[in-house]
Structures are given as C-alpha cells and as structure tokens.
Amino acid sequence: MGNLLKVLTCTELEQGPNFFLDFENAQPTDGEREVWNQVNSVLQDSESILAGLQAYKGAGQEIRDAIQNPNVLSLQEQAWNSVCPLVIKLKNFYDFSNRLEDALKSLLESLTCAPLTPTQHLEREQALAKQFAEILHFTLRFDELKMRNPAIQNDFSYYRRTISRNRLNNMNLDIENEVNNEMANKMSLFYAEATPMLKTLSNATTNFVTENKTLPLDNTTDCLSTMASVCKVMLETPEYSSRFSSEDTRLFCMRVMVGVIILYDHVHPNGAFNKSSKIDMKGCIKVLKDQPAEKVGGLLDALKFTTKHLNDESTPKNIRTMLP
C-alpha cells in the first residue's frame, strides 16, 4: 500500500476507513495507466486555463465609452474589437469544462466499478484518486477567480447584445463561426452560475449516477464520503499534515474536501448535512474554521451557497449556524 496508510475507522459515524493518501507523489500503476493518461491530457491544460482567467481584465472601459457615445462609430468598433478576443477566451474556458466533465466521468467509472469497493479502489488506485482530487482542486480555484471577476458576465452580455444588433444590420460577423447563437446560449447559462465549474461537476456526477442504473448509488457516494474523510483526517492530524512537503498541499486538501462534500450533497438523496450522512460535516466545517480566515472564506461560501440540502429541515441547526 506504500504511501496510503489506514489511520482509523469512525464506527460512531458509520463511516468507512479514513486514509492518509499521498496527494503529492502517487504514481499510476500499469492498471491505472490508460485512464490516467486520458485524464492527464485534460489536467495538463488546467494551469494555463487558470492563468488565462487570472489575467482576464475585461473590456469595461471600451464598453462604457461605446454605450455613452452610441453614434461614434470608432468607439463602437473599438469596443467590439476588444470584446471579440475575450469571448474566444471565454469559449476556451467553457470548452475546457466539457473536457473536465468527461475526465470526471472516466474517473468515477474506474473508482466505483465492481468487484472492488470504493475504499479498495482508493487503496489500490492512488494515482486516479489524486487526479480526482486535482480536478476538484482546479474547480474550486477556477470558481473563486470567476466570482471575483464581474467583467466576464459584463463582456459576454455586451457581446450578445451587439451581435444581435449587428445581425439586424446585415454585418458580416466572422466571430459567429466560433461563437454562434447556440454556443452563446450554452455559454450564457454556464457563466450565469456563481460557481460554473462546480455546477458542471455536480451535473456530471448526477448524470453518471442516472446513466449507470446497475451501479449501486452507494458506490458513488461512498467514494465521495471516503475522500472527504481522507482530507479531514490529513488536515486535523499533525502527524499526517506534517508529511506535506508544501504548505500548498494543506489548501489543496481543503479544496478537495469541500469539492467532494458538494458532489455528495448533490448526488445523495438526503444530502451531506443529514444525520444519516457518511460525512462528518461538523468535523469538516471545524477543520475549515480552524484555518486562517483569508484562506477558507471562499470555501465556506461554497458550502453555504452551492450545496443543495443545507437548509433542509433535516439538517441539524448547529451545523447551519457553523457556516457564517
């Protein structure tokens, strides 16, 4: 088992084993290689996607100038020429979300299939578990950046208004070869979400369960709850967190923990906050709140605003009050 160490069994919470999983160094075995290569071809582009989003400045000034001076053709052209390359960039982000969705489904197929249990999969396929974690880590980072950048929706709204008006004026719009009306509608729905990548993964996980009717639901939810327990134990136990070679791994674990909680909450009929949940939500939230506030504010907001069952009557009040 190498880098994966069983550390405890939480029978009181009716949870499965919790593990220390080496997120930093896990390497694929021969049996994992095919799926690992497929997912890696997607993940290797994730940093450039994040860099593009982080560098996204928008065309706010050009748009304002064009709107305030509707009869000045040069300003209209300047705004349009500024927005079009940004829309192509937004399309690249959207296209990547579709690739990420396919990668997630491949990992779920591998980590939940018979005859192994989800726990056995995580024990034996650590590199795939690491890739699953990397997808969630990317997703939380992308959504945090998107939420802090209102220019994205402003630019795209301007693009849609302008392209409709220009079509009426019979203008030749080459960009429609890249972002036609159908694509614009899909992108609009994507960027309207506060956390679009999380929404994509939540839908992908729900669709995975729906499409695989012969696969017990517990296979998927147990995979998610076990991953949450992995991260919680690693974060709250100095003996294990001290093994991280980088402080960034702590934040990585926090993002992954929040990500799998959100997926579990969307897939499980009773959600993650119910007393019957296999995730120790009180413990997970406490782990987050024990970290510096500037590091976890966005993660606590994600739990508060993107989960599905937080405000259900069955959710214990003391858990709801733990989220600011």
Q: Is residue 226 part of a domain?
A: yes
pLDDT at 122: 87
Q: Is residue 233 part of a domain?
A: yes
181-186 CB contacts, 8 Å cutoff, 24+ apart:
183/91, 184/159, 184/160, 186/94
Say how many domains are in the chain. Answer: 2
Same domain for 47 and 79? yes
Same domain for 243 and 144? no
Question: 33 - beta bridge partners?
Answer: none
Give dist(CA 216, CA 126) in Å, integer: 22
pLDDT at 128: 97
Same domain for 175 and 300? no
57 Cβ neighbours under 8 A, 6+ residues apart? 151
pLDDT at 46: 98
Rg of the chain on CA atoms, in Å:
22
17 Cβ neighbours under 8 A, 6+ residues apart? 6, 8, 9, 119, 226, 229
Same domain for 237 and 165? no
Q: Is residue 1 part of a domain?
A: no
Same domain for 181 and 69? yes
pLDDT at 165: 77
Same domain for 48 and 155? yes
Give the chain's count of helices (H) and strands (E): 15, 2
Q: Which residues of the chain have pLDDT under 70?
A: 1-19, 166-173, 324
Q: Which of 103, 109, 138 is nearest to 121 (CA)?
A: 109
Q: Is residue 90 part of a domain?
A: yes
Same domain for 49 and 178? yes
Give dist(CA 83, CA 88) in Å, integer: 9
Length of the chain: 324
27, 33 in Cβ contact below 8 A? no
Give dist(CA 90, CA 253) in Å, integer: 28
Q: Which of 158, 193, 228 is the last residue of a domain?
A: 193
Q: Is residue 10 part of a domain?
A: no
Which residue has tokens 């939810």? Answer: 221
Q: Is residue 198 part of a domain?
A: no
Peptide bond into 150 cis (omega under 30): no
Same domain for 160 and 249? no
Q: Which of 143, 159, 193 is the last residue of a domain?
A: 193
Q: Which of 193, 228, 246 is the last residue of a domain?
A: 193
Give dist(CA 215, CA 267) in Å, integer: 14
Q: Is residue 178 part of a domain?
A: yes
Same domain for 147 and 229? no
Same domain for 36 and 80? yes
Q: Is residue 245 part of a domain?
A: yes
Same domain for 143 and 99? yes
Cβ count within 10 A of residue 214: 5
Domain span at residue 65? Answer: 18-193
Helix (H) or strand (E) holding 150: none
Same domain for 249 and 143? no
